Amino acid sequence: MALPRLFHNDSSHFYARHGSSLCTFVLSPSLQPFHDKALKKGSLCFLMKPCTVTIIIPAYNEEQRIGTTLEAYCRFFRGHRREFKTTFSVVLNGCTDNTLHVAQRYRRTFPEIKILHFQEKIGKGGAIIEGIKASTSSLVGYV
């Protein structure tokens, strides 16, 4: 399996592409003053050892797909990205199906999965914002 390619696009966003999937990473506001220094060193994670990453996965009625998605991301990052600690934050956004139970089942196998559950619909953007607010990682990405 090829590793995702990480590239810089603007002053605060980084993008990882793996096949047809794209993940956007946002530098945590607390690290923004160190942004230019990080780029000059060619590393996103030299600022915090160990580097921490949260990948936000917004979910609305995804019971059919969320399990395979979580397993694929968790297995990939466990196997290929050991230089930083990764957390997957599933943000449930007013789901009316069984998405919560599926995510909870996968969390038993993959403790790096965190679940934020919102009863009301907050939209994909709202889910991403809530995931960013709940994160304590140095880099936050979303899919």
**How confident is the model at residue 112, as a pLDDT?**
95
**How confident is the model at residue 33, as a pLDDT?**
45
Q: Are 14 and 7 in contact (CB under 8 A)?
A: yes
Per-residue pLDDT of the chain (143 residues; tens, 9 = 90+): 343 444 444 445 555 544 455 555 555 544 444 444 444 444 444 444 557 889 999 999 999 999 999 999 999 888 876 677 899 999 999 999 999 999 999 999 999 999 999 999 999 999 999 999 999 888 888 88
